[in-house]
Amino acid sequence: MPPQVDFYLLDTPAANGKLRLACRLADKAFRLGHSVYLQTADTADAERLDALLWTFSQGSFLPHEPLAEFDGDFERCAVVVGAVEPPTAFTDVLISLSMETPEYFPQFERIVEPVGADEPDRAQARQRFRAYRERGVTPSTHHIKAP
């Protein structure tokens, strides 16, 4: 069975909007009992996201680790941030902040694609949307107000 793919489009621009949206989505998935791999486009974004996960919501705590520090114990830490392809042990939720459609996406049950409000990000999201469809997946789209 193909994974569920959901695109979450921010309706309005916001400072760090896409990263903040990824934090909100990771928090929701974690609270529903899922393990989450957040893949960023590069290590600089991974570091920004790692820092933002500590502060994105007043009074919120989302336990997470960089991939380099993760020991494979999902019971201890269910949210992991990295800029590289995840190990095959990750199969639950992928939040992809990459510019490309991840080739390994079939290993996950669910893929979440946060999309910023700016046109370059929307154009890349449309390409990823088409790539998923070409691989037999029918993505869903959700419009989200900026955090």
Q: What is the pLDDT of residues 89-129, one digit of tens each?
A: 889 999 999 999 999 999 999 999 999 999 999 999 999 99
Structure tokens at 128: 């990823």
The model's pTM: 0.92
Q: For residue 29, report the phi and psi dihedrals to the nearest 5 degrees.
A: -60, -45
Q: What is the pLDDT of residues 2-61, one digit of tens each?
A: 899 999 999 988 778 899 899 999 999 999 999 999 999 999 999 998 888 887 777 667
Given pLDDT bands bounded at 50, 70 and 90, which one contains residue 65?
confident
What are the extents of the domains in the chain? 4-144
CA 89 vs. chain centroid, Å, equals 17
What's the CATH class of domain 4-144? alpha beta
* Dist CA 61 CA 25 (whole Å): 14
